[in-house]
Amino acid sequence: MARERLTCIVCGRKFPRGQGIVLNIGGVELDFHSKRCALKFLTSLLEHLDQDQLRRAVNETVREFEEARRLREEEKRKTII
């Protein structure tokens, strides 16, 4: 059985489906053979976005992760007697 092969959009390397990183953003499938290629693409993408919208999105995401971390820490404290 032949496995479907994807092509990394950053470096062009081919890899089998199930390996690498596949992101679906806005209905567009983005295939990366490694986290290094994915990070390179996402860094470039962030540089092309409107800075005001990006700042708001970053602040919202940071608050979301800080809240999740705070809740995890609170749960740990509650279980220790």
Please give the pLDDT value at position 2.
Answer: 63
Distance CA(14)–CA(7), nearest Å, equals 4
Please list the pLDDT of the chain residue by residue as tens digits (81 residues): 568 999 999 999 999 999 999 999 889 999 999 999 999 999 999 999 999 999 999 999 999 999 999 999 988 876 655
Please give the pLDDT value at position 76.
Answer: 82
Q: Where are the alpha helices (DSSP H) in the chain?
A: 35-48, 51-79
Distance CA(76)–CA(59), nearest Å, equals 26
Q: Which two tokens stand for residue 42?
A: 């996402």
Please give the pLDDT value at position 79.
Answer: 62
- pTM beyond 0.85, yes or no: no
Q: Which residues lie across from 21 on neighbouring strands? A: 32
Please give the pLDDT value at position 81.
Answer: 58
Domain spans of the chain?
Answer: 1-48, 50-81
